[in-house]
Amino acid sequence: MPDVAVPPRATPPVARVGRGFVASYVAAYMGAILLFLAPLLVSLSLKVNSLVGIEQAPNALALVAGTGALLALFANPFFGTLSDRTSSRLGMRRPWLVLGVLGGSAGILVVALAPNIPVVLVGWCLAQLFFNALLAALIAVLPDQVPVAQRGQVAGVLGICLPIASVSGTFVVQLFAGNTLAVFLAPCAIGGFFVLLFAARLDDRRLTVAQRPAWSRRELGHTFYVDPRRHPDFAWAFASRFLFVLAYAFLTTYQAYYLLERIGTAEDGVSRQVFLGTLTMAVVVVAASLVGGTLSDRTGRRKAFVCAASVVFGLSMFVIAVATSFGGFLVGMAVGGLGFGLYTAVDLALVADVLPDSGSAAKDLGVMNIAGALPSALAPAVAPGILAVGNGSYGVLYAVAGCCALLGAAAVLKVRRVR
């Protein structure tokens, strides 16, 4: 193994975090997800549709979402590495939280005002770049500040952030429907407020200039890589997350078109139905996530919960695949909420437990986050081919999503370091 400079190994936190910290962290995490998801769930799809029409929209959305997600593959671990080496007086994570909110919101403004698809693409790539800088630093706060014995509980609370942010995002979009600028910027204002509030209060880790290792070309290459031979548990956790998130990416990226084409929803009713579907999933996710995280800590088990969650979510995709009415879609979303809630409650805790080096937590979590970003690029890239093979059937697309989730369940069983 070549010698590379690495940050000094951090001492794992041992003091339990209080409710105030957890509440502030959860609000910031929820705000960060709101920044990401609000455009992806509804507004980006509708913006693209308004520019090119429903016939060309799937391919145009694939270009925009896929390119932005591809950029995120490199942005997240790169900015994670920068965060691990930041010796600012403000701390290691805080500067990237602030810069991420401001830069990403500027990108969203470009998308909102874009007169054509190329400008939408530029704005979305800018947003992805800075929002991933934000996310890399924010995720690293978990191993920075939270002791192992509390990670399942805290990760379980973090698990409710996605559904609540999803509901909030779709609600805001619905509330400001018809006002393009407000649809895009209102989530930025709300989410950005909570992230900046957390950044101001964070007792951040600090790295002195003397502790900061020098960069090298060899180390730059390792920014995007964790050796699967030396760290097989990390590799299997990566594969499991990738497959699960790929299934979820098929759902979120194409649910608007699913409702238009398969269910027959009128275009002016899509926002409302996406909101109702997201709300249905969110209610179940919140309950499952809070219970699942606590049970995981009490039993000391991670794999069983992640495996079961992936199986349940896979089954929900098959329910949606065969649905022929909006009611059937809602049933699938509710079942999916159970699987997704259990998954988000425990997966982050499992990943934190198998990190190769706590001294490079943000970098390694950035590599792991490739498993969350790559599906967003891959799903829109392969979905047109799946739809072509399936004669345009979104049922076939969601059946493929279900198979991906089941494969994710099989992958997590290979993890050995945690039970």
What is the reported pLDDT for 371? 77
pLDDT in tens, 252-305: 878 888 888 888 777 777 878 888 888 888 888 888 877 877 777 777 777 788
* Residue keyed to tokens 């760290």: 231
- Asked if residue 402 has pLDDT above 60, the reply is yes
What is the reported pLDDT for 399? 92
pLDDT in tens, 203-217: 877 766 666 666 555
Instruction: Take residue 181 and report the two structure tokens written for it.
Output: 């600028």
The H-or-E segment that residue 397 falls in is helix 394-412
pLDDT in tens, 50-62: 888 877 887 888 8
- Asked if residue 382 has pLDDT above 90, the reply is no
What is the reported pLDDT for 247? 92
Q: What is the largest CA-CA distance in the chain?
A: 63
What is the reported pLDDT for 134? 92
Phi, psi angle pair for 205, to nearest 5°:
-65, 150
Confidence of residue 8 (pLDDT cuts 50, 70, 90): very low
DSSP 369: H
Q: What superfamily in CATH does domain 19-202+218-412 come from?
A: MFS general substrate transporter like domains (1.20.1250.20)
What is the reported pLDDT for 3? 32
Instruction: Give, in order, the Cα–Cα distances in Å from 303 to each of 233, 243, 288, 387, 415.
Output: 11, 15, 16, 33, 8
- Asked if residue 109 has pLDDT above 90, the reply is yes
